[in-house]
């Protein structure tokens, strides 16, 4: 069920600004408990527009509007605490919550865009029906199954992250260094998967048996040269702002020799595969997780013997940033032991 809450809150915002701050209206605001609707069939929309509800109260004419907002925020936090045991007991959901808690404004296109790549999220966290049911009846963090490209409001994740990182409010449920370290381990294990299935995935997308590949010069078939062809020209054009229009992209593409087009197509197919999206999302989340991760022998041990899996071929820039974050974490742990 999809409920158009957006227009409703737009109207409510106008009414709240104009309404006289009567005792009856104040009592109605106090009596309304938004958490009762979190587990309804339209619970996702309630979560996403909860910040709008709080904003409506803030913009009202009540002198104690701040206290009213605090009251409803506390109701949400009490509800969240009642749900977090289920999340923390499951490594995948713990990682999900930790990624939200690590920060919502740091992904290249904002967490809204990346978070709504439902197929990639499903692959990264290996979401099944049981986990989806926990989230649908919990904190509503996952994209809706039937609408993986819907709109998520960053402000809801901001409220949730602020609460989870505040020990005075979350108490025993605060996201501490141990939890962030566990989430970092989970992401590293996923991105360091060297299973035969992942190697086969890369082999299938690279189409190594096609005539285009076989007829390409040997230097273009080597990995280092491939990386230069696939990424070097694109970066040069980005600096010249020629990628700001679809026409510029197409003009660049059709001028490429066949071998270069082959590499461009290979890259595009890999990055738009659900496994590729999950891999990229994990890499983009890893640096923030490592910044907040505490001392963990398991994490340090895994870092010492890990290497990123075959899908990393398509993400050289993200790999470079992730490796730098790993080195910084190890160095920070070495200094903390002194």
One domain, residues 148 and 189: no
153, 295: one domain = no
What is the DSSP secondary-structure string of 271-285? HTSHHHHHHHHHHHH
| Amino acid 149: pLDDT | 43
Over residues 183-242, the pLDDT tens digits come to 999 999 999 988 888 877 777 766 554 554 455 555 444 554 555 555 555 555 555 454
Q: Is the CB of residue 124 less than 8 Å from the CB of residue 282?
A: yes
Clarify whether residues 192 and 235 are in a common domain: yes
Residues 18, 165, single domain; the answer is yes
**Same domain, yes or no: 32 and 158:** yes
Query: Are residues 98 and 187 both part of a single domain?
Result: no
Contact 283, 277 (CB under 8 A): no
pLDDT 10s digits, 277-311 = 889 889 989 999 999 999 999 999 999 999 999 88
DSSP string, 253-315: HHHS-HHHHHHHHHHHHHHTSHHHHHHHHHHHHHHHHHHH----HHHHHHHHH----GGGGG-
Over residues 306-321, mean pLDDT:
89
| Residue 187, CA distances (Å) to 123, 126, 249, 278 in order | 12, 12, 33, 10
> Does 152 lie in the same domain as 87?
yes
Tens digit of each residue's pLDDT (9 = 90 or more) over 44-99: 778 888 888 898 999 999 999 999 999 999 999 999 999 999 999 999 999 999 99
Based on the fold, state whether residues 282 and 185 are members of the same structural domain.
yes
209 and 337 inside one domain:
yes
Q: Is residue 31 located within the same domain as residue 56?
A: yes
Among 118, 145, 175, where does a domain finish?
175
Digit-coded pLDDT (tens) for 241-256:
544 555 565 555 555 5
Same domain, 212 and 240: yes
pLDDT given for residue 131 in this prediction:
93
pLDDT at residue 126 above 70? Answer: yes
Domain that holds residue 23: 5-175
For residue 92, CA distances in Å to 41, 68, 264 come to 24, 35, 33
Enter the pTM of the model.
Answer: 0.81
Domain boundary among 150, 175, 200: 175
Query: How many domains does the chain contain in total?
Result: 2
Q: Which of 175, 192, 216 is the last residue of a domain?
A: 175
Quote the tokens at residue 5.
């809450």
Q: Is the pLDDT of residue 21 over 80?
A: yes
């Amino acid at each position: 069920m999809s409920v158009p809450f957006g227009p409703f809150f737009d109207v409510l915002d106008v009414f709240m600004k104009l309404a006289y701050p009567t005792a009856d209206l104040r009592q109605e605001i106090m009596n309304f408990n938004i958490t009762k609707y979190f587990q309804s069939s339209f619970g996702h929309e309630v979560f996403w527009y909860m910040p709008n509800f709080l904003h409506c109260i803030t913009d009202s004419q009540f002198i104690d509007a701040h206290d009213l907002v605090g009251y409803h925020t506390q109701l949400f936090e009490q509800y969240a605490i009642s749900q977090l045991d289920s999340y923390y007991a499951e490594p995948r959901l713990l990682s999900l919550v930790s990624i939200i808690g690590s920060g919502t404004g740091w992904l290249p296109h904002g967490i809204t865009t990346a978070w709504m790549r439902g197929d990639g999220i499903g692959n990264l966290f290996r979401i099944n029906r049981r986990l989806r049911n926990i989230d649908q009846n919990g904190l509503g963090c996952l994209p809706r199954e039937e609408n993986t490209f819907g709109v998520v409001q960053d402000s809801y994740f901001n409220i949730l992250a602020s609460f989870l990182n505040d020990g005075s409010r979350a108490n025993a449920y605060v996201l501490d260094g141990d939890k962030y370290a566990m989430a970092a381990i989970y992401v590293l294990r996923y991105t360091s998967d060297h299973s035969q299935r992942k190697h086969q995935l890369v082999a299938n997308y690279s189409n190594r048996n096609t005539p285009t590949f076989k007829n390409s010069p040997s230097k273009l078939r080597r990995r280092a040269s491939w990386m230069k062809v696939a990424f070097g020209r694109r970066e040069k054009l980005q600096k010249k702002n020629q990628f700001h229009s679809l026409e510029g992209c197409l003009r660049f593409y059709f001028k490429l020799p066949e071998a270069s087009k082959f590499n461009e197509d290979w890259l595009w197919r890999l990055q738009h595969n659900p496994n590729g999206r999950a891999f990229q999302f994990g890499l983009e989340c890893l640096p923030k997780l490592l910044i907040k991760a505490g001392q963990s022998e398991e994490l340090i041990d895994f870092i010492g013997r890990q290497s990123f899996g075959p899908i990393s071929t398509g993400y050289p820039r993200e790999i470079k940033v992730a490796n730098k974050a790993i080195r910084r974490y190890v160095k920070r742990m070495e200094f903390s032991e002194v």
